[in-house]
Amino acid sequence: MRSLLQGKSGVGKAEYLKTHWQDELPVAEIKKSNEELAAMTGADAKWPRTALLSAIAVQEALATHKDSIQNLRTGFFSANTVGGMDLTEQVYKDFINDTIEPEFSNIVNHECGAVTELVAKHFGLNDFNTTISTACSSSANSIMMAAQMINNGMLDVAIAGGADSMSKFTLNGFNTLQILDKEPCQPFDNNRRGLNLGEGAGYVLLMSEKAMQQCGATAICVVSGYANANDAYHQTASSPDGIGNKMAMSHALKKAGLQPKDIDYINLHGTGTANNDSSEGKAVEAIFEGCIPKASSTKGFTGHTLGAAGGVEAVFSTLSIRDGVVFPNLRWATQMEDINWQVVTELQTGQDIRNVLSNSFGFGGNCSSLIFSKC
């Protein structure tokens, strides 16, 4: 939060990820070793880094309610895209060359679901755990499902969001797509060059009203709207007009029973790629015609944390409501030519933020929007 208020970006040179691209491609890395991360929650440093990051954020999300939710049906909805790839890629060569036996522990948690389960077990979350993987929209979808299950009375409490760590696999994959910025990224700038990858984890704690009473909890906001749509245009690119983006935003508004003018802040997906920001920008323009709310991408701070992004930005959306702040869209310099509105570039405080829309779009055409409303 302090970094967000001070405009301090996490983008810089990779120190812990060992890659050929260390000097060329900046990333938003958590500046701690796996051992240091593990020590923060009493986890095992041999876990995949994604699980270590996840555990820290889950611990924060549970905070004071760890004990009070004991007798309630609690779900853990965690998304990720990378699973245990950070470890697998270290031993894969040995494994296929038949020298694996001593290092099997490094691939045993390769699956995305394994990451969720390590963390669930660590915190004794046994009632319902699930893992969603829809690329960059993954953790927005876990929040959506958690809200649905609580609304349906299937659960009382949910910890929902996601995590993803840096891996050579992802960095090289995005690099082949030629959408990585060699400088710190400039989302929604006319001269943007691409995205920076980031790592992190973010979860929100959701409760039914009954559970809140039982725990003596007070809510900052509610998940009032959600929607998931598919662009059905291209496996990795967004349609020029953002068909899926528009559908996700308008369906979420409908679900929340809100009009476009009711939204006070949009936490944009805003990766910094030419394609995303243009499609998203036009989609926002179409949905919010004449009443464009304050909007910013926080990826200038965090980089694109992929499967964690929806969770991390849900936390930012919640903080925006709680503290009445709008976070700046870092490093913005030039107005985009193809849209007629502008992002917020300076921190705004003392705002009455009642409804926040958070966008998460990804590969496979997956588009998700969440709306958080002040209680």
Partner 1 sequence: MSGEFLLTKPDYSTHVLSCVEPEYKEYIPVMQLRRMSKIVRRGVVAAKTAMQNAGIEKPDALSIGTAYGCLQDTESFLGKMIEQEEQMLTPTAFIQSTHNTVGGQIALLAGCNGHNLTYVHRGHSFEHAMINAALYLGEHPGENILVGGIDELTENSIKALQIAGLITKEHLATDDVINGSNDATVGGEGAAFFSVTQQPLSGRYIRIRALDIFKEYDEAAALQKVKRFADNHKDIEIDLFLSGRNGDKKYLQFYNSVRTEIYPLVADAQFKFCCGEYPVAGSFALAMLFECLEQKGCVPEFMELAHPTGEIKNVVLVNNFGSYYSCWLLELAV
Catalytic positions are 136, 269, 304
Instruction: Give the nearer residue to partner 1 in terms of CB position, either 177 or 291.
Output: 177
Q: Pick from 139, 141, 320, 359: which binds partner 1 (CB under 8 A)?
A: 141
Closest separation between CB of residue 343 and partner 1, Å? 27
- The answer to whether residue 92 forms part of the interface with partner 1 (CB under 8 A) is yes
Q: Is 22 exposed, middle or buried (0-12, 13-18, 19+ CB in 10 A)?
A: middle
Instruction: Give the nearer residue to partner 1 in terms of CB position, either 129 or 186.
Output: 129
By residue count, the chain amounts to 375
Q: Pick from 93, 210, 254, 261: which binds partner 1 (CB under 8 A)?
A: 93
Closest alpha carbon to 282 in 317, 246, 329? 246
- The answer to whether residue 231 forms part of the interface with partner 1 (CB under 8 A) is yes
Subset of 151-170 contacting partner 1 (CB under 8 A) = 152, 168-169
Q: Which one of the spans 1-9, 55-63, 114-122, 320-328 is the region binding partner 1 (CB under 8 A)?
A: 114-122
User: What are 120's strand-pairing partners?
Assistant: none
Closest alpha carbon to 163 in 85, 67, 232? 85
Closest separation between CB of residue 170 and partner 1, Å? 9
Residue 258 CB coordination number (10 Å): 18
- The answer to whether residue 230 forms part of the interface with partner 1 (CB under 8 A) is yes
Using CB under 8 A as the binding criterion, the count of chain residues that bind partner 1 stands at: 61
Closest separation between CB of residue 248 and partner 1, Å? 10
**8 Å CB contact between 130 and 162:** no
Helix (H) or strand (E) holding 12, with range, is: strand 11-12
- The answer to whether residue 113 forms part of the interface with partner 1 (CB under 8 A) is yes
**8 Å CB contact between 64 and 207:** no
Q: Pick from 9, 41, 116, 305: which binds partner 1 (CB under 8 A)?
A: 116
**8 Å CB contact between 319 and 292:** no
Residue type, 251: H
